[in-house]
Structure 1
Amino acid sequence: MYKIVEKEHFSENVVKLIVEAPMIAQSRRPGHFVIVRIGEGGERIPLTISAADTVKGTITLVVQAIGESTRKICALEIGDCFTDIVGPLGQATHIENVGTVVCCGGGVGVAPLLPIIKAMKEAGNRVVSILAARTSDLIILEKEVSEYSDEVIIMTDDGSKGQKGLVTAGVESVINREKVDLVVAIGPAVMMKFVSLTTKKYDIPTMVSLNTIMVDGTGMCGACRVTVDGKTKFVCIDGPEFDAHKVDFDEMIMRLRAYN
């Protein structure tokens, strides 16, 4: 069993859970995710590993209560256990020193972005992080992101914190003042789509981490399929990260809406 040893509320519907999972903690890399389940017959929920402590043998998961299963997970308390945690799954992020990297996180997308920010900084890059949300209450992990960033820009739709505007405005402000070598974006599909459209104008390589519907996490079911460069890919085994300029976001968004 995978016991919860720490719990923190970021907001009413977003919680951070630190869970005992020593083997996963040892082998995870930035970009990896796990699939969790609570209760016999429970739904399988994919969650990116936000952090890991190899000494304590723990992994950090950030969960947003959206449906019945995620609400049950968010209701778990310290001492409770997950029935299953499978992972690490997916392909790890390719990390290298490219120069200046702009890392964009939307809402809970900041959680999977954090280990990438850390790894990019440790590889010698200049890292500019842009955190975006509808309102200030939904900005998460700002302190942790700041620790590994040369600069942090906050964007909120209502202007309650940082600058008022969308994440794309923050991206363009950086592009217009300095050379950007890579952009990484993780968040809602529509956010990643418009970040991709923005960077494509400037011919800046852009990586996104896709958050499609997943079932088995091993490429068998095909539920997470997306079209990348005209070819069908499975997010769970080929991703979750892809070249943003090759992703068919409109198709992906349409498939996500089918599950609403």
Structure 2
Amino acid sequence: QNIPIRTELGREIRRAFVAEPGHLLISADYSQIELRVLAHLAGDETLTRAFQNGEDIHDRTALKVFGPASGLDPHELRRRAKIINYALLYGKTAFTLAKDIGVTPQAAQAFIDAYFDGFPKVRSFIDRTIEEARGSGVVRTMFGRRRLVPELTSRNGQIRSAAERVAVNLPIQGTAADILKRAMIDVHGSLGAVPGARMILTVHDELLFEVPGDQAEKAAALVRGKMESAVQLNVPLTVDIGIGPNWKEAKA
């Protein structure tokens, strides 16, 4: 998971991971699973509807935050919106967000405010999660996995702020991880239908398989079906599938 993916050199390194002769690799990657979990847990109607309608959530965020006449290049607009989506997911402040997207802290705070105006139940979810965790000292994933966060009552502001980020992030990122584990169990239990297929790797939200070449399409369909039905949320789970002789070409 330490192989870089955001540079061409990093992507090229994946070409070194090849399938056995007569076999192909299948890459199956959950699409925006943490944002989908957020939509489910927060119950925000706008966010939920966007996923249900198959919209690009980063484009939707760009419209909410920057408006229809921002004047920014579409690629830059989507890049900033993507950073904002994940920055708020991980509890970043206006100061750190400003550095990430190259604006002033004041502008970054305005973007954060616009985001929460557009998705108000996300703000409510964050506040509620922190308060409940402060009272109980515990946060849980959707499946009940727990993490203790006693630092939420620390007198040290930095320690307390870090604990607040953990309290918000664990139900989201932890639930996404739980879903992937359930998907792995479901897929593993069904791979016998594709002789010679095997699961070989998991990286973040991605599963990698090696299968006989003539069984690749059948295996890909099975994997997609099991991963997308691993759990029922208020929004659909979607999986990007790629097939190729090496990891780079298989990466969807």
For the criterion TM > 0.5, the same-fold answer is no
Which one has a larger percent helix, Structure 1 or Structure 2?
A: 2
Structure number, greater radius of gyration? 2
